[in-house]
Structure 1
Amino acid sequence: MKNSKWRKETSPIGSGTHAEVYLAVPVDDVNSSMIAVKSTHIEYAYNLQREAEILRQLRGCPHVVQCFGDDVTDQYYNLLLEYAPAGSLDRLIYPRGRWDCKMAESDVAFYAYQILKGLLHLHDKGFVHSDLKPENILVFPTIRESKFLLKLADFGVSRRAGKNDFDEDDDDEPFCPHHCRGSLVFASPEYLSSGIHRTLDDIWSLGCIVVEMLMGQPPWLCESTNDLIFQIKYEKPEIPEDISSGAKDFLNKCFYKKEDGDDERWTARMLLKHRFVQDNMDAQSRYGGGISMLSCPNNPLSYDDNQWVSTKDLFLPI
Structure 2
Amino acid sequence: MTTIDDYQIGRYLGRGKYGLVYLARENKSGLVVALKVLYKQFILKERCEGQLRRELEIHTNLRHPNITRLYTWFQDATRIFLVLEYCSGGELYSYLTQFTRLPVRVVSKITHDVLAALQFAHKKSILHRDIKLENVLCSYSPELIESLKLKLSTNSLTDSQGPETPENLLQFTFKLSDFGWSVHHPGVAQKSVFNQSRRKTQCGTLDYLPPQLVLGQPYHSGCDIWSLGVMCYELIAGQPPFYHETLETTKANIAAVKFSYPEGMPDVAKDFIKKCLVKDQDKRATADELTKHQFVKLWESQ
State the TM-score, normalized to the length of structure 1.
Answer: 0.74
2:112 is the counterpart of 1:113: yes
**Preserved contact between residue 108 and residue 213 of structure 1 (Cα < 8 Å):** yes
The 3-state SS of whatever aligns with 1:194 is coil
> Following superposition of structure 1 onto structure 2, how do residues 235-274 of structure 1 map, counting pairs within 5 Å?
235-258=257-280, 264-274=283-293
Q: Distance in 1 between matches of 2:274 and 2:240?
A: 17
| Partner of residue 152, structure 1 | 176
The 3-state SS of whatever aligns with 1:13 is strand
Structure 1 residues 8 and 212: CA distance shift in structure 2, 3 A: same
For 1:150, give the aligned amino acid: F
Note the alpha carbon deviations across 1:69-113, whole angstroms, 9 max, x for none.
011134211110001111011122222xx53xx322111111111
**How far is 1:117 from its partner?**
0.2
For 1:249, give the aligned amino acid: D
Q: Distance in 1 between matches of 2:242 and 2:279?
A: 17
Number of equivalences: 267
Q: Distance in 1 between matches of 2:56 and 2:33?
A: 16
Q: Which has the higher helix share?
A: 2
For 1:35, give the aligned amino acid: V
Note the alpha carbon deviations across 1:8-36, whole angstroms, 9 max, x for none.
34x7422233332222234577xx34211
**Preserved contact between residue 239 and residue 251 of structure 1 (Cα < 8 Å):** no
Q: Distance in 2 between matches of 1:215 and 1:190?
A: 24
Which of 1 and 2 has higher RCO (CA within 8 Å, sep 6+)? Answer: 1
Q: Distance in 1 between matches of 2:77 and 2:15?
A: 19
The 3-state SS of whatever aligns with 1:94 is helix
Structure 1 residues 126 and 28: CA distance shift in structure 2, 3 A: closer
State the TM-score, normalized to the length of structure 2.
Answer: 0.78
| Partner of residue 153, structure 2 | none
For 1:51, give the aligned amino acid: E
> Following superposition of structure 1 onto structure 2, how do residues 1-318 of structure 1 map, counting pairs within 5 Å?
5-9=6-10, 12-27=12-27, 32-43=30-41, 44=43, 45-59=49-63, 61-95=64-98, 99=100, 102-142=101-141, 146=168, 147-161=171-185, 162-166=188-192, 178-179=199-200, 183-258=205-280, 264-278=283-297, 280-283=298-301
**Preserved contact between residue 58 and residue 184 of structure 2 (Cα < 8 Å):** no
The 3-state SS of whatever aligns with 2:301 is helix
For 2:190, give the aligned amino acid: N
For 2:287, give the aligned amino acid: A
**How far is 1:2 from its partner?**
6.6
For 2:175, give the aligned amino acid: K
For 2:214, give the aligned amino acid: L
Structure 1 residues 201 and 22: CA distance shift in structure 2, 3 A: same
**How far is 1:5 from its partner?**
2.6
Q: Distance in 1 between matches of 2:131 and 2:210?
A: 11
**How far is 1:120 from its partner?**
0.4
Q: Distance in 2 between matches of 1:177 and 1:52?
A: 19
**Structure 1 unmatched ranges of 5 or more:** 170-174, 285-318
Q: Distance in 2 between matches of 1:122 and 1:243?
A: 29
| Partner of residue 155, structure 2 | none
**Preserved contact between residue 85 and residue 139 of structure 1 (Cα < 8 Å):** yes
Q: Distance in 2 between matches of 1:48 and 1:167?
A: 14
